[in-house]
């Protein structure tokens, strides 16, 4: 008997495993495993989502016209160059399928986001990694790995799970060093959290040519991960390609409505930003004070590195946190088995993390 066989490479894909959300026997879990916005979505977004309940029989606006218009106004961009997707993950996958295939290489940084190799392999392409320096992407290392087969370079800036970023000048240097036919995809899922003078999502790089794309999401600061909503700012040629390969109704109307309302609620956005601006440095300082090694994260999460000594390891810390009802994210899949990633949560959740880590590390 011969069974249907997927294309070569498909069975090499390690399925993406999301953060846990339940601990058996624990009622109130503190879920800090998926970088979901600490304060949840804007109440206006929840209301807008609910208000769509009577229209579930209607197909959505396949072009996301109102949402793209609002995104254009919010970020000062041409709506015609914006393409929306069911999460930015969908757009990353579509870019791979449209621009890379068997025999092609898709390049990314060593501890880059795990969707890049999944998207590459799904397209039949070969994922290639470049080493990092101090858990930060290295433009020189990426450029050194470019071959005639390279079709796409993915960079998350800031990166998940390391939390580190490179200045926009470095992205410009990367673009200049890449051949024109290589598509540079800047994944700016955490852009809204960053307040650094030398940081930019990269829209200017998109405008400057025909070969750079910036992807964004409503899953992180807007805390709308469940509705699946992301978008890409593209040169016209790439927007045209994405609009051909995407499903015609890839973004649901409740998602579009929630996104529109979230964008309009600038007060709530400012509250979320201020929350992160306060708790990211607080949590980092407290954990460093306990002797843990942290990267300089500019996202809504921290990456903690643990010693290898028995009783002090990342695995043991994770078990300890779980017993206290706290779900962190293990990092073995990212090649960082000595690390845990912890999302910035609510005030009491941050205090609970510090108290638990204090207890775990007590002599």
Q: Which residues bind ligand PLP (CB under 6 A)?
A: 35, 87-89, 113, 156, 160, 187, 189, 217, 219-220, 225, 230
The minimum distance between CB 179 and ligand PLP, in angstroms, equals 25
- How far, in Å, are 118, 197, 254 from residue 165 at the CA level? 22, 12, 33
DSSP for 89-105 reads: HHHHHHHHHHH--TT-E
> Which run of H or E residues covers position 155?
strand 150-156
Distance, in Å, from the CA atom of 53 to the CA atom of 253, rounded to the nearest integer, reads 10
Q: Which is nearer to ligand PLP, 42 or 160 (CB)?
A: 160
Q: Which is nearer to ligand PLP, 114 or 354 (CB)?
A: 114
Strand partners, 185: 154, 213
Closest contact distance (angstroms) between CB of 70 and ligand PLP is 17
Closer CB to ligand PLP, residue 187 or residue 352? 187
Q: What whole-number distance in Å separates Cα of residue 107 and Cα of residue 127?
A: 6
Of the candidates 169, 189, 175, the residue with the CA atom closest to the CA atom of residue 113? 189
Nearer to ligand PLP, 89 or 318 (CB): 89
| Residue whose CB is less far from ligand PLP, 48 or 137 | 137
Q: For the CB of residue 62, give the shortest distance to ligand PLP in the complex, in Å.
A: 19
Q: Which is nearer to ligand PLP, 156 or 280 (CB)?
A: 156
Rounded to a whole number of angstroms, the minimum distance from the CB of residue 87 to ligand PLP is 3
* Least distance in angstroms from the C-beta of 35 to ligand PLP: 6
ω into 7 cis (within 30 of 0): no
**Nearest-approach distance from CB 231 to ligand PLP, in angstroms:** 9
Can you read off the two tokens belonging to residue 313?
């390891």
Q: What are residue 79's phi and psi, to 5 degrees?
A: -60, -25
The residue sitting closest to ligand PLP, measured at its beta carbon, is 87
Minimum CB distance to ligand PLP smaller for 294 or for 361 = 294
74, two tokens: 């919010």
User: What's the distance, CA 362 to chain centroid?
Assistant: 34
Q: Least distance from C-beta 343 to ligand PLP, angstroms?
A: 11
Query: 219 or 284: whose CB is closer to ligand PLP?
Result: 219
Give the separation between CA 327 and CA 1, rounded to whole angstroms.
45
Cβ at position 353, least distance to ligand PLP in Å: 20
Helix (H) or strand (E) holding 48: helix 43-51
CB closer to ligand PLP, 60 vs 225: 225
Shortest distance (Å) from residue 355 CB to ligand PLP = 27
Q: Please give the Cα distance from 218 to 197 (Å, whole number).
A: 23
Q: Which helix (H) or strand (E) holds 214?
A: strand 212-217
User: Given its phi and psi angles, is residue 215 left (phi above 0), alpha (psi -120 to 50 degrees) or beta?
Assistant: beta
């Amino acid at each position: 008997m011969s069974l249907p066989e997927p294309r070569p490479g498909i069975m090499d894909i390690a399925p993406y495993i999301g953060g846990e959300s339940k601990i058996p026997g624990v009622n109130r879990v503190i879920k800090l495993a998926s970088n979901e916005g600490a304060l949840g979505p804007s109440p206006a977004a929840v209301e807008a989502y609910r208000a769509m309940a009577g229209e579930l029989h209607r197909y959505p606006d396949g072009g996301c016209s109102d949402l793209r218009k609002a995104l254009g106004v919010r970020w000062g961009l041409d709506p015609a160059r914006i393409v929306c997707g069911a999460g930015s993950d969908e757009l990353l996958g579509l870019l791979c399928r449209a621009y890379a295939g068997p025999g092609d290489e898709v390049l990314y940084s060593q501890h880059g986001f795990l969707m890049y190799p999944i998207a590459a392999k799904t397209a039949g392409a070969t994922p290639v990694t470049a080493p990092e320096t101090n858990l930060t992407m290295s433009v020189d290392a990426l450029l050194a790995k470019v071959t005639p087969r390279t079709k796409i370079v993915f960079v998350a800036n800031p990166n998940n799970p390391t939390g580190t970023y490179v200045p926009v000048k470095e992205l410009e240097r990367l673009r200049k060093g890449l051949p024109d036919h290589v598509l540079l995809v800047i994944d700016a899922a955490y852009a809204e959290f960053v307040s650094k003078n030398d940081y930019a999502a990269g829209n200017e790089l998109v405008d400057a040519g025909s070969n750079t794309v910036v992807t964004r999401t409503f899953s992180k600061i807007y805390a709308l991960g469940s509705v699946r909503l992301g978008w890409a700012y593209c040169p016209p040629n790439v927007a045209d390609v994405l609009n051909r390969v995407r499903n015609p109704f890839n973004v649901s109307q409740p998602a579009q409505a929630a996104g529109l309302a979230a964008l309009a609620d600038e007060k709530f956005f400012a509250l979320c930003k201020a929350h992160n601006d306060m708790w990211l440095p607080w949590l980092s300082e407290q954990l460093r004070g306990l002797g843990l090694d942290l990267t300089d994260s500019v996202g809504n999460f921290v990456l903690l590195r643990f010693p290898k000594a028995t009783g002090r390891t990342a695995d043991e810390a994770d078990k300890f946190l779980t017993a206290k009802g706290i779900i962190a994210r293990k990092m073995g899949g990212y090649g960082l088995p000595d690390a845990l990633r912890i999302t910035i949560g609510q005030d009491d959740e941050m205090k609970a993390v510090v108290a638990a880590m204090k207890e775990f590390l007590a002599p």
